[in-house]
Structure 1
Amino acid sequence: MGFLFLPTLPATLRTGFHTRTHHTMNHTPSRSFSLRLRVLLLGCIPLLIAGCAGSRPTTSIQETSIGSVFLESVSDSSFQASHPIKLSETTVGDVLRGIHTKEKSGLLLLLGKAAKSTNLNDIRTFSEDEIAFLTPYVTAALAQATATQRVGFRIYSTPYLASSAKTAPQREMTAGYLFADGLSLHVTLTQYRHYPGKRPTASQKEPRPLPDTDGLRDREVTFLPEGAIRSDV
């Protein structure tokens, strides 16, 4: 899932920026769209995940029980990021805060849920605590990354279970990466609140639901405010 977000950069940040042509690494993102720094958000499909998740040299920026932020080398010769880049924590926080992940409207109807507007806070990809954790480390990582590196992140969360539950909940992971390219900040969401073996959300009438290898099969990734969406890309 993809889109391009363009928060207004301060004049001091815009100065010296130039546009570079970035070639996708032999993958075609699905369901791409663009928003009005620029952020292209891509939700990887399972095939793309296989290409994204290979073993690459990494440099840890921060790693805790909450999550991790790291620099990852990209071997593709066509990859050329505009790093290092200095963005404010406010800008990075606003980008993370604007990313939303919600169930597809068709699935909501299939499950018999009301097809009415949802509280936007309920579908944010990251909670305020997660944003507070990620923001300073992502900002620092972008400021020290090289042109052949991208910034990776992982966030761990434990889903709520009723007190009557017999088994302890497994930690879910939301993961992805980002890099700057000229005036654009490309963000890829590769996993959303997922763990190995997690059962996909599906209708009781669906005997064999398709595998959901990343938690994104039945979800849409979007960016708010929607007024930032561009139709010219």
Structure 2
Amino acid sequence: METRGGQFARRVDVALEQAGIGRVAGAQAWVVVFDTAEWLDGLQQAALTLDAWERARAARFRFEGDRTSYVLAHALWRRVLRMCLGTGPVLPRVSPDALGRPLLPDHPGHVTSLSRSGPFAAVAVARMAAVGLDIECFPARHALDDVLAAIGTPAERQALAGLAGEPWQRAVLGLWTAKEAVLKAWGTGLRFDPALVDTSRSPLPDPSGRPLAWRLLRLSLPAGLIGAIAVPGEPEALSICWLGAAGNIVTYADWTL
């Protein structure tokens, strides 16, 4: 019987239930977004739900704020997985493979992805071959001119040439999240040059020659976040929600494709 997490776990579970998050079915994907700062009072109990590899990773952070965000994001991730996989009182195991991709060894056919940016985190859970998720805080903390020069294809750079100011910044950051998402889904991360990923192609062919056609979807998120998800084929539905700690749950409409 899973007993870790105490009051923190119960609060998260209630919030998930109120948001209507349930077991994934068919080619469905859930995306749950949250601000870890809203769950800060549950930090000690949240830390009890982490596995050994997560505790070891958390201990390596230099800054306390980064460590806190990591612990809360991973604890919330486990509660989302529990709900989406229907594991009852038991928290699902997550095992990173040699490339760092999170695997669900006890749930074949299900996949997950986690992304963090500042205090924010987003979790994707799906029943399909793979999934990749990425979010970034806006305004960006990086020099976006340098980002575009490093990741943009000639066609992508040309497409953004007519923009300026905030629209240009949002477009560049959106391009970055899209490429991060698909590289996560492919399992390569930045070992594959993002400048070779042409997001103007839809769907994207699989780089390993597998019979998979990858689709990129931009997420509808609160104003301070930009995000994207990469999925193979045509998912039946993409459901997105913001999980608040104080009852301020906003569920975005299902993005049925």
Q: What is the TM-score of this pair, normalised by structure 2?
A: 0.26
Which is bigger in relative contact order (C-alpha 8 A, separation at least 6)? Answer: 1
Q: As a proportion of its length, which structure holds more helix? A: 2
Q: As a proportion of its length, which structure holds more strand? A: 1
